[in-house]
Amino acid sequence: MGRRDMMANPDPQSNTEKMSLRGGGGRGGVAARLVFILLMATFSVPAMAVSDPTETAALLAFKSAQIDPGGKLSAWNGNDPCGPPAWAGIYCEVDTTTKVSHVIEIRAMNYNLRGTLVPHLGNLTRLLRLNVINNGLTGQIPPALGKLGNLILFLVNNNELTGEIPPELGNLTSLIRFQIDVNRLSGSIPPQLGNLTRVNHLHMNNNSLSGAIPADLARLRNLNHLILDHNKVSGPLPEVLSTVPQLTIIQLDYNPINAGLPLSWTQIPSLIKLSLRNCSITGTAPELGAMSNLTFVDMSDNGLTGGLPSNISSKMITLAFSNNQLVGNVPPQYATLDAIQNLDLSNNKLNGSVPTFGTGASFNNDSQMVVIDLQNNLFTGWNVQTQEAVTRPNKKVWLTGNPSMCGSNGIIPAPTQLSVCQGSNSVLQQGVSYGSDAPKGTAVCPSSCEYPALLVEANNLTCWCATPITVQIRLKSPSFTYFDPGYLTYFQGLAARALSISTYQVRASNTTRTPGLFSQDITLLIFPPAKSASFNESAYDAVYLQFASWRVSAGEEWSFSIVGPYDFLDFFIATAGSSKKGLSTGAVVGIVVGAVALAAALAALFTFALLRRRSAYSRDPKQALPLLPPGVNIKGVKGFTFAELAKATDNFSSDHELGQGGYGKVYKGVLADGGLVAIKRAQEGSMQGATQFYTEIELLSRVHHRNLVQLLGFCNDRGEQMLVYEFMAGGTLRDHLTPTEIMDFGRRMHIALGTARGILYLHTEADPPIFHRDIKASNILLDERYNAKVADFGLSKLAPIPDLNGATPEHVSTIVKGTPGYLDPEYFLTQKLTDKTDVYSFGVVLLEIITGMFPIAYGKNIVREVNRAMEEGDIMSIADPQMGSNPSKQGLEPLLKLALACCQNESEARPSMVEIVRELEDIWRIIKPTLMSKVDSDTFSIDMEHLRGSHGQMQPSSSSFQDASYIMSDGKGDLRGSINPR
C-alpha cells in the first residue's frame, strides 16, 4: 500500500531523470546525459521482459482464493504481474539470461485479505520474501510452500491460520526469519524445523502448539530468538538447546511445561532474556550467575521452591519471581543493580530485612520508573535509606501484606505507610505514551507545513515542509518494563545509524506501552534529506527493506540487550493533506491505553491508518476505495465508494429519502446489481472518528441474527460516513399501528417475539454484548412478511466489558440517551445503563403493540394508562380495535402483565430478556391453536409455516445480500436465536 501511496504522490524530486542529471551537474552535463541515456537503455530492457506464466498463475490462484474487501488485489489482472507497472504488492527481478521476470516478494501486509494461502504459491520458486502479515487468512499452511527454497522471510503472522505446521517447511533452508505467531496453529513443532540452519528468528507465539520442544531445534546454529509464549507446549525442556551458540532470547511464557528448568539452560552465556512466566516450572529456583548478559528474567507464577538466585547479572533490568514458594532473604546484590526497573518478588515466603535500595543508577535517575514489589511476604524490617529512596520521583517500593511491616502493629511510620503499604500494580496497568516534538528553535516554518522538517547546522535552524515515511514497529520482547523518555533520542539515533541517514531525519513521533502484551509500540517518522520534500521510490523501498528485513537492529548492542526483536506493524507515507493533529495523537492514545491495552494498540494503528486514508483520497479520487485500518476484522461487509452510493440514491435525491434520525438521513438505494439497500448518511456533527467508525463496523459485521437488521456495507470516503443496511420493505412497526390498518393478534405476537429475540441476542450473544438504549416502535423494522428486525444498534451502546482483573462492572454510566416515552425512569435518574433499560423500552413497545396507542399522547403516558385499566379490570377496553377478530382475554392478559412487568420503575423488578422470550413463547403456544383456525391472510400463513420450522419456501427479503439460510423454530429451544454464518 505504501508503494501505491508513493506512486500517487506526484513529486518532481522522485523523478529518476532529474536526480541523475543533477548528479552530473555543471560542465560534465553532456557526458552525464550520455551516461544517463545509456543507463536508461540498459534499464529499458527489463521493461520488455515478460513475467513467468507459472508465477502469474500462482498469483491469480492466490487472488481468487481471497475475499478482498479493501480491493487491494483489484489490479491483479492479466498476465504481467511484474509490469511495469507491477501489481500492487508484487516485486520482481529480471533473469538477465532468459529475460523473464520473476516474483521475489509478496508484500501484502495489512491488506485485510480473507482467504487461504493456496498451494500454488509454492510455484513462486524465486520468492525471497513472503509478507502477508496481519490479514484474516484462514485455512492451513500448504505443505507446497516447502518448495520455496530461496525464501528468506516467511511472515504469515497475525492471521487466522489453522492446522499443523507442515514438516515440509523444514525445506526452507534459506530462511532467516520464520514468523507464524498469532494464528490458530495446533499440533506439535515438527523436528524438521531443525533443518532451518540459517534461521535467526523463530516466532511461534500465540498459537495452540502442543507437545515438547524438539531437541532438533538445537541444530539451529544461527538461532537468536526462540519465541513460543502462549501455546500449549509441554515439557521436558530439551537440555541440548543450551548449545545454540548465539541464543539471546528464550520466551516460553504461558505454556503448560510442567517440568524442571534444565541446569544447562542456566549456563547459556549469550542469553539476554529468559521468560517462563506461568509455565508450571517445578524444582528449586535456578542459579543464574553464569549468564552475565541477562537483562530480563521472568519466572513468576510457577512452582519454584528454595531461595532466590544468589548472584545475578549486573545488567538486570526486569527480574520477576512472583507467585512461587520461595523462602529466605533477598540477596544484598539485588539492591545494588544499576539498571533495575522492575523487581517483582511478591507473593512468596521471603523473610529477613529488605536490602538497602537506593544506591543503584536507576534509583538516581529521576525520570526512570523503578518498582520494587515485595508484597505478601514475611519481611521484618528495612532501613532508613530505602525509606528515603521511596520518596524520590518515580520510585516505588511496595510492602503490603508483610504483617510485621504493614500489619496493624507494623513498623513503617505513618507518612510512609501511605505509599508503601497500599500496594498496587496500577503503574503496570497504565500505558505510558511519549512523543517527541520537532526540535524547538527559531526557524520559521512555512505556515502550511503539516510535517515540518528541521535541520540544525552550526546554530542555524532551517525548516521546510516534508512528507515523512511513517514506520510502526512493536518491540515484542523488550527487557525494559518502563520506557524511559530518554530512550527516544536513543531510538532516533539507532534508526538513523541503521538507515545511514542523519539524526535530524528521524523523529520518534509516538511510543505506546501496552502492558497486557508486555510490548512497546513505536512510531518513527523518517524524513527525506535536507530541503527535499519527499522520498523517491527507490529511497522509499530502501527504507522499507531496512525495516522489513530487520536490518535495523543489526550490530547494535543496545538494541540487542534491551530492545529485543520487533514486529513490523506498518509502513506508509503520511502525506500532506493529513492534518497535523494526527501527530499529537499521543495524548489521546495514552488515555485509551490506560483503559484497555489492546484497544490502544489498535487505536494507534487506526490513527495512522486514518492519515493514510486521507492522503489517498486527497491525492487521487480514483483511489477512493476505503482502506481499512489493520486489525479491523470486517467480514462480509462491503466497502462502498461515495460515488457508488451517490449513484444508488440518484445523488441522494429527496425521492429516495426514507426518513431522518438523530444520525442523519436514511435513503433507499438501488445498487448496481439491482439490490435494494437502506443507506444511513451521517450528517455534519454525527460523524465519528475513523477509529470509532471502523470499530463500530467491525462490531456490527459480527452481529448476525434474523431479528436484527443486517449491516451490508459502509462508506468512509470524501469526508462522508455512511452505513449500508438491508432494505426492509415493510417499514417501521410504528407505521403499521395506525387506525387505518388491521393487524391481527397473531401477527402482533410474531412481531413481539421477533423483537424480543433480537434484543436477547444483543444482550447475550453479541460479543461484546450490546445495550440498545433506543428501543422504540420506529426502530423495529418489518420485512414484507412482517418479520421484525431491530435496527439502529451500535458501538455507542456497548455493554460493560470486563476490566483487566476480569471483573465486570454491572452498568455503564453514560449521558442519558433515548426517546421520551420509552425512557427507563431509573436510568434517567441514576444514569446507570443496564440491560433492564432496554427491557423497559421493550415493555413500552409491547404496550403499543397491544393498544395501538402512542407512548405519550395528549399528555397521557401509555404505562400509566394501561396500569389504570388493569387495576379497573378493564383490559379488553384498551386492546387496539384494529386487531381484527379480537383476541381472547386468555392471550391478552398474560401479554399485558408481561408488558407491565417490563415497565416497573425499579429495574430489579423487571424480567430479563431471556425470561421475556420464554414467556412470549409460552403465550404463543397457548394462543396458537385458537389462531390457526382463523388464519386467512396468505402472508400470515407463510409466517406460520415458518414458525413450525419449515423454511423451504422462504424467500429472502429483497436485498441481494440477504442470507437465505433462515432457521426458524418455535419452542424454548430457540432461545439462542440463529446466527447465520456468512
Ligand X SMILES: *[C@@H]1O[C@H](CO)[C@@H](O)[C@H](O)[C@H]1NC(C)=O
Q: At closest approach, how far in Å is the CB of 293 from ligand X? A: 4
724/959 Cα distance (integer angstroms): 11
Cβ–Cβ < 8 Å for 623, 88: no
CB of 270 to ligand X, least distance (A): 4
- Interface pick for ligand X out of 89, 170, 639, 713 (rule CB under 6 A): 170
Binding to ligand X (CB under 6 A) within 47-86 occurs at 54, 57-58
φ and ψ at 61, to 5 degrees? -65, -40
Min dist CB 61 to ligand X, Å, is: 7
The residues near 721 (Cβ < 8 Å, ≥ 6 apart) are 681, 682, 687, 688, 693, 714, 715
- How remote is the C-alpha of 658 from its chain's centroid? 35
Between 12 and 555, name the residue whose CB sits nearer to ligand X.
555
Contacts of 710 (CB under 8 A, 6+ apart): 704, 725, 726, 789, 961, 962, 963
Q: Closest separation between CB of residue 336 and ligand X, Å?
A: 20
Question: How distant, in Å, are the alpha carbons of 310, 312, 317 from that of 360?
Answer: 18, 15, 12
Residue 197 vs 653, nearer CB to ligand X: 197
Coil vs helix vs strand at 281? coil
Which range in 425-433, 458-466, 554-562, 592-600 contacts ligand X by CB under 6 A? 554-562
What's the min distance (Å) between Cβ of 335 and ligand X?
A: 24
Closest CA relative to residue 453, chosen from 319, 544, 280, 576: 576
Interface pattern 282-311 for ligand X (x via CB under 6 A): -----------x------------------
Q: Which of 617, 726, 706, 606 is nearest to 666 (CA)?
A: 726
Shortest spacing between CB 62 and ligand X, in angstroms: 11
CA neighbor of 336 nearest in space, from 309, 371, 360: 360
Closest to ligand X by CB, 121 vs 646, is 121
Q: How far is the CB of 792 from ligand X (least distance, A)?
A: 47
Element holding 514 (H helix, E strand) = strand 506-514
Q: How far is CA 200 from the centre of its chain?
A: 28
User: Between residues 121 and 592, which has the closer beta carbon with respect to ligand X?
Assistant: 121
Active centre residues (catalytic)? 774
Type of residue found at 254? Y
Q: Closer CB to ligand X, residue 164 or residue 919?
A: 164
Position 332 contacts ligand X (CB under 6 A):
no
- Least Å distance between CB 54 and ligand X? 4
Instruction: Give the three-state DSSP class for 232.
Output: strand
Q: How far is CA 241 from CA 181, 214, 269, 309, in A?
A: 21, 9, 13, 22
From candidates 216, 484, 556, 963, binder to ligand X by CB under 6 A: 216
Q: Measured from the CB atom, is 557 or 655 closer to ligand X?
A: 557
Q: Per-residue DSSP letters for 801-837?
A: ---TTSPPPS-EE------TTT--HHHHHH-EE-HHH
Contact between 508 and 559 (Cβ < 8 Å): no
Nearest CA to 513 out of 479, 472, 483 is that of 483
Contact call for residues 258 and 277 (beta carbons, < 8 A): no
Taking the C-alpha atoms of residue 761 and residue 767, their distance in angstroms, rounded to an integer, is 10
DSSP character for 284?
B
Angle CA 354–356–360, to nearest 5: 130
Task: Determine the interface stretch with ligand X among 40-48, 250-258, 555-563, 623-631 (rule: CB under 6 A).
Answer: 555-563
Please, which residues bridge with residue 679 across strands? 667, 724
Question: With 0-12 CB in 10 A as exposed, 13-18 as middle and 19+ as buried, what is 19?
Answer: middle
- Residue nearer to ligand X on the CB measure, 142 or 515: 142
From residue 673, alpha-carbon distances to 644, 676, 716, 959 in Å are: 11, 9, 21, 10
Is the Cβ of residue 245 or residue 689 nearer to ligand X in the bound state?
245
| Part in contact with ligand X (CB under 6 A); list of ranges 116-124, 280-288, 301-309, 876-884 | 116-124
Binding mask 127-146 for ligand X (x = CB under 6 A): -----------------x--
Taking the least distance from each CB to ligand X, the nearer of 194 and 235 is: 194
Show the site string, 175-214: x = touches ligand X by CB under 6 A, - = not.
----------------xx-xx-------------------
User: Could you say which residues in the range 511-540 bind ligand X, by CB under 6 A?
Assistant: none
The cell for 98 is 532468459
**Given the complex with ligand X, which of 268 and 866 has the nearer CB atom?**
268
Stretch that binds ligand X, among 80-88, 557-565, 607-615, 909-917 (CB under 6 A): 557-565
Mask: binding to ligand X, 241-280, rule CB under 6 A, as x and -? ----------------------------xx----------
Decide the pairing of beta strands 153-155 and 129-131.
Answer: parallel
CA 951 to chain centre: 37
Which residue type does 599 have? A
Residue from 69, 70, 89, 122 binding ligand X (CB under 6 A) = 122
Q: Which is nearer to ligand X, 191 or 452 (CB)?
A: 191
Whether residue 745 contacts residue 927, with contact meaning beta carbons closer than 8 Å, is answered with yes
* 680 annotated among ligand-binding-site residues: yes
Question: How far apart, in Å, are the Cα atoms of 701 and each of 69, 708, 712, 760?
Answer: 13, 12, 8, 18
**Peptide bond just before 236 cis, omega within 30 deg:** yes
Q: Considering only CA atoms, which of 86, 68, 60 is closest in space to residue 4?
A: 86
**What value does the CA radius of gyration of the chain take, rounded to a whole number of Å?**
33
Number of residues in contact with ligand X under rule CB under 6 A: 20
Least distance from ligand X to the Cβ atom of residue 27, Å: 50
Residue 979 Cβ, how far from ligand X at the closest point, in Å?
34
Q: Least distance (Å) from ligand X to the CB of residue 246? A: 7
Binding residues for ATP: 680
Binding residues: 680
* Residues that bind ligand X in the complex, under the rule CB under 6 A: 54, 57-58, 119-120, 122-123, 144, 170, 191-192, 194-195, 216, 269-270, 293, 557, 560-561
